[in-house]
Amino acid sequence: MEKRSILHMLDPMPNNSPFDINMAMDAGFDVLMPYNNVKLDSVYGLTQDAIFSRSPAGIKRTGIFIGGRDLGLAMDMLESSRQAMVPPFEVSVFADPSGAFTTAAALVACVEQALKEHHGKELKECRVLVFGGTGPVGIATGIIASLAGADTALVDHLLLDNAQDIAKAFNRRFGCSLRGECARTEEDKAKLIAEVDIIFCAAKAGVQVLSSEVLKSARNLKVVGDVNAVPPLGIEGIKRTDSGAPLANAINSQDAIAVGALTVGNIKYQLQHEMLNYMLITDKPVYLDFREAFKKARDIVIL
């Protein structure tokens, strides 16, 4: 009789994400075991409890999912879990804190595809701004774009030091080249977007970040992507269903196009499903984070 599949869901927050639980069940796991308030120093022991309690055959039906909101902590937890493995007692581990890795991967892949299709350009040829750049999705978006070669800045709406500190921290961790910027006022935003090619909006849901008046300052804008599906949307003029449609308010960038939240969300949903399912079908244990998510997202958007 085949062992039932189990996904151990480790989360440093008081509650595990219902979204992740639903996704894991729909991906085919038989049993979900959520653990909340998990500390980093507990991950090693929890991992070994999971791997040594099953035979090598059962190990193939076992996985670990790492949630939370802190990207750095999630990566540290993934690494701690990796170090706890004792082959052949080794299981797959997938880190996706706040869904940030899969959301950011989907966002960048969708914008990248639109950039190629409509402008014939690569990310490495572009200047990029990430509004909401100091939140989980914004940071992950910036890291992915920077590692793909884009000149990328994370934008904070209050403190320049915060954006710069976060950029430096993740540059050290992942070898990317992020910069920090601050846009407290409409005038700050207008100056920042004047020469950029791509704008990612990963700000808080229901908050308009860029008005049509500010967008008039964008002279070279090629693509905008917004993950906000709650009115008002983050970028005025964008529609949630946009998938390469002209951006209505790009006055000085007539060829600017938009990628909306539902387009990104559709890819994100497929991506997280496929990565969770991959943990069940792979013959060898895998360790999945934003890098593997971006590779898979690129495959999905060109299907």
Question: Which residues lie across from 201 on neighbouring strands?
Answer: 131, 226
The packing angle between helices 100-119 and 261-281, to 10°, is 120
State residue 239's pLDDT score: 95
**pLDDT tens digit sequence for 279-297:** 999 989 999 999 999 999 9
- Rounded CA gap, 141 and 111, in Å? 11
CA distance readout (Å), 252 to 66, 236, 271:
43, 15, 35
- In angstroms, the CA 156 to CA 163 distance is 6
For the chain, the domains span 6-99+267-301, 103-264
Tokens 């595990």, residue located: 16
- Provide the pLDDT for residue 250: 64
DSSP annotation of 2: P
- Give the pLDDT confidence score for residue 101 in this predicted structure: 98
CA–CA distance, 186 with 1 (Å, rounded to integer)? 64
pLDDT at 36: 97
* β-pair partners for 225: 200, 259
* The pair of three-digit structure tokens given for residue 16, joined into one six-digit string: 């595990």
One digit per residue, the tens of pLDDT, for the chain of length 303 reads: 678 999 999 999 999 999 999 999 999 999 999 999 999 999 999 999 999 998 877 888 999 999 999 999 999 999 999 999 999 999 999 999 999 999 999 999 999 999 999 999 999 999 999 999 999 999 999 999 999 999 999 999 999 999 999 999 999 999 999 999 999 999 999 999 999 999 999 999 999 999 999 999 999 999 999 999 999 999 999 999 999 999 976 666 668 999 999 999 999 999 999 999 999 999 899 999 999 999 999 999 986
Fold of 6-99+267-301: Rossmann fold (3.40.50)
Same fold, 6-99+267-301 and 103-264: yes
The model carries a pTM of: 0.96
Note the pLDDT of residue 303: 67
C-alpha separations of 13 from 22, 39, 179 in Å: 18, 9, 29
Q: What is the pLDDT of residue 253?
A: 61
Residue 237 region by backbone torsions, left for phi larger than 0, else alpha for psi between -120 and 50, else beta? left
Please say whether the dihedral angle defined by the alpha carbons of residues 96, 97, 102 and 108, taken in this order, is positive or negative.
negative
C-alpha 189/C-alpha 255 separation (Å) is: 20
pLDDT of residue 56: 78
Nearest-CA neighbor of 179 among 129, 229, 144?
Answer: 129
Sequential DSSP letters for 57-114: HHHTTEEEEE-SS-HHHHHHHHHHHHHH-BTTB--EEEE-GGGHHHHHHHHHHHHHHH
- What tens digit of pLDDT does each residue of 174-213 get? 999 999 999 999 999 999 999 999 999 999 999 999 999 9
CATH of the domain spanning 103-264? 3.40.50.720
